[in-house]
């Protein structure tokens, strides 16, 4: 697999052992649905669509090596590459990393874990500014990133209602 990401700590979002020197962000919620329902939404880019992004993936399902350009508001293009993916009875999710042109350098993961007839959904990331503009606007960029993380969680819950 040819990974083109812009940081060396590939796959670190799979566990809670995130690399030093980055901003770490982790949020989670419990969903009132069994694992299979949110898993299908997540792995087929439906969550991204529900968050107002227009994903342009190289494959219809998230899998290691798949590249995806996330279009936002018709102007912003956020290029990412899936660096790991898992679909087992114990865990469904993936992590993608920044590609050249992304405003940040780092990785984000979307994790689903079964809790009987409910599911724990976690979004975990590590990042640093990847462009001069994001460095200069770091507080604003961090606020946007935190808000986006909270939106992932609420959008998934809304999709299951």
In degrees, to the nearest 5, what angle opens at C-alpha 10 toward C-alphas 7 and 13?
110
| pTM for the structure as a whole | 0.94
Distance CA 145, CA 139 (A): 10
135 phi, psi to nearest 5 deg: -70, -45
Return the beta strands (E) in the chain as ranges: 23-31, 53-57, 67-72, 76-87, 92-98, 104-115, 118-129
Distance CA 72, CA 141 (A): 15
**Angle separating helix axes 138-159 and 36-43, nearest 10 degrees:** 130
* Both structure tokens of 87: 């679909």
- 58: Cα separation from own chain's centroid: 16
For residue 16, what pLDDT is reported? Answer: 85
pLDDT in tens, the chain (161 residues): 799 999 999 999 998 899 999 999 999 999 999 999 999 999 999 999 999 999 999 999 999 999 999 998 877 899 999 999 999 999 999 999 999 999 899 999 999 999 999 999 999 999 998 878 888 888 888 888 899 899 999 999 999 99
């Amino acid at each position: 697999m040819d990974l083109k990401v812009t940081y060396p700590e590939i796959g670190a979002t799979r566990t809670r052992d995130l690399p030093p020197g980055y901003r770490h962000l982790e949020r989670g919620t419990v969903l009132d649905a069994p694992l299979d329902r949110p898993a299908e939404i997540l792995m087929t880019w439906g969550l991204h669509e529900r968050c107002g992004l227009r994903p342009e993936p190289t494959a219809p399902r998230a899998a290691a090596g798949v590249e995806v350009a996330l279009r936002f508001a018709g102007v912003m293009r956020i290029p990412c590459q899936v660096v790991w993916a898992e679909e087992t009875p114990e865990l469904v999710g993936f992590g993608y990393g920044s590609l050249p042109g992304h405003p940040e350098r780092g990785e984000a993961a979307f994790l689903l874990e079964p809790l009987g007839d409910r599911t724990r959904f976690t979004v975990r990331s590590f990042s640093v500014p990847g462009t001069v503009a994001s460095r200069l606007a770091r507080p604003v960029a961090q606020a946007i990133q935190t808000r986006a993380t909270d939106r992932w969680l609420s959008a998934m819950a809304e999709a299951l209602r």
